[in-house]
Chains A and B, each alone.
Chain A
Amino acid sequence: MEREIREFLAANYFLGEDPSALDGSSSLIEAGLIDSTGVLELVGFLEERFDIRITNEELLPENLDSIDNIVAFVERKQAGGGAG
């Protein structure tokens, strides 16, 4: 799962960079990547690829602002957990 998320981010926001080399803890917001359109893209990808439904209440930095947070969030969602 982490590999696919990294590949999505690399393909959409870090063109030409090695997906495995992206820093897992860096803020995507501070990098200027996640604006309202970027969140739409990211949420659309996560919902479709991992067959989860993300509610508006779950659109929080602790769930979506870094690769590590995204991976942990999707794992919780797939395990049937809450917003985190």
Chain B
Amino acid sequence: MATDSTITADVLAIDPARVAAEIEEALRTIISRQLHRKGGVVAVSGGIDSSVTAALTARGLGAERTIALLLPEADSDPETLEISRLAADAFGIETVVEDISPILEATGCYARRDAAVREVVPEFGEGWRFKIVLPSVVATEGYRLFSLVVQSPEGETRETRLPPEQYRMIVAATNFKQRTRKMLEYFHADRLNYAVVGTPNRLEYDQGFFVKLGDGAADVKPIAHLYKSQVYQLAEHVGVPERIRQRPPTTDTYSLSQSQEEFYFSLPHQGMDLCLYARNHGLPAEAVAGAVGLTPAQVTRVFEDIDQKRRTTRYLHLGPQLVEPVAELAD
């Protein structure tokens, strides 16, 4: 059903030159005048968000005041390192590579995680791969439960519902990855008197798709107000290499390749962006259904999922809560 308020992807069109200039100016002001740091550290993953963030940081502060940290580990896609270098090189940014696998081994990240997987699939071992998935919001009317998908060395795939204890253990152990990366980002930031520049886009920031004190931590988050489609527009403007712009977004967290919508978001980012935009502007489901190729009832489920994620991840945004305010430190 068409309505007067029907929207298309055009609502997310930006003037990339103007937006890039605004962000670059903001980065200069925030990092220099507010944070009193002299440069920026960006962890570059080979994805679109970190590539754009690195580019904007280099453009805003100067490539010589920007470093790109490449932080691969045992489960990283073999392409990750090469593609991350491609991004940094495109902007003349110095790269520092830190393989975080030994740290993750020392914390028991892999061993704890694999033990939990084996409690669900006893055969899981050397050569096996796995990921965690959630059923589609669009195709499911009720609540959704996480499943474990394992693949044997012979390529046989099996899906099993995850009991809560094992789910929590796998997530908690895996979160060592994001927290270890952040620890190294702050090491280099401290060493250079730089700020840590975070890379979340608006979908991730709004919907709580980050690890608290992991990828959720940063001194400044310059693209957190931009929908993912807008990040792609900026990517083209600032010259992010085509190979990175054409690559589908993944979590690059589990040994089996996992798309972001398999684990977290309801829809691929183009549809998710438009639904979030519609929700933010108080538009009805009918207004966006045509543009995202869903029925209004399905869009309503996506809206409900957006609201629910906001509620349940709010605590991720909160700093430590005090019993009484310390008035002397109030703004």
Contacts and interface: CB of A to CB of B under 8 A. Distances in A.
B277 to A, nearest CB: 23
Given A40-B162, A40-B167, A44-B163, A32 B312 contact: yes
B134 to A, nearest CB: 6
B78 interface: no
Given A32-B311, A36-B134, A57 B142 contact: yes
B163 A64 contact: no
Given A32-B312, A35-B312, A36-B134, A59 B142 contact: yes
Interface in B228-287: none
A29 B301 CA distance: 13
Contacts of B146: 36-37, 40
A32 B316 CA distance: 14
Main secondary structure of the interface of B (DSSP, over half): loop
Interface in A53-76: 56-61, 63-64
A5 interface: no
A11 B309 CA distance: 22
A60 B142 contact: yes
B211 to A, nearest CB: 14
Contact of A34 (B134, B143, B164): B143
Contacts of A9: none
Interface string B129-168: 0000011000011111110000000000000001111011
Interface string B165-193: 10110000000000000000000000000
Given A36-B134, A40-B162, A59 B143 contact: yes
Contact of A60 (B141, B162, B311, B312): B141
B145 A40 contact: yes
Contact of A39 (B143, B309, B311): B143
A61 B142 contact: yes
Contacts of B311: 32, 35
A63 B143 CA distance: 10
Instruction: Please indicate which of the listed interface residues B143, B146, B164 has the most CB atoms of chain A within 10 Å of its own CB.
Output: B143
Contacts of A17: none
Contacts of A63: 142
A41 B162 CA distance: 10
Given A32-B311, A56-B135, A37 B168 contact: yes
B164 A60 contact: no
A43 B308 contact: no
Interface in B296-326: 308-309, 311-312, 314
Contacts of B308: 29, 32, 35
Contacts of A58: 142
A37 B164 contact: yes
A52 to B, nearest CB: 14
Nearest to A44: B164
Contacts of A39: 143-145
A56 B142 CA distance: 8
Nearest to A58: B142
Contacts of A41: 164
18 contacts: A32-B308, A36-B145, A37-B146, A37-B168, A39-B143, A40-B167, A41-B164, A43-B145, A44-B164, A44-B165, A56-B142, A56-B145, A57-B142, A59-B143, A59-B144, A60-B142, A61-B142, A61-B143
Given A36-B146, A37-B167, A56-B135, 14 more contacts: A32-B308, A32-B311, A32-B314, A35-B308, A36-B134, A36-B143, A36-B144, A38-B312, A39-B144, A40-B167, A56-B145, A58-B142, A61-B142, A64-B143
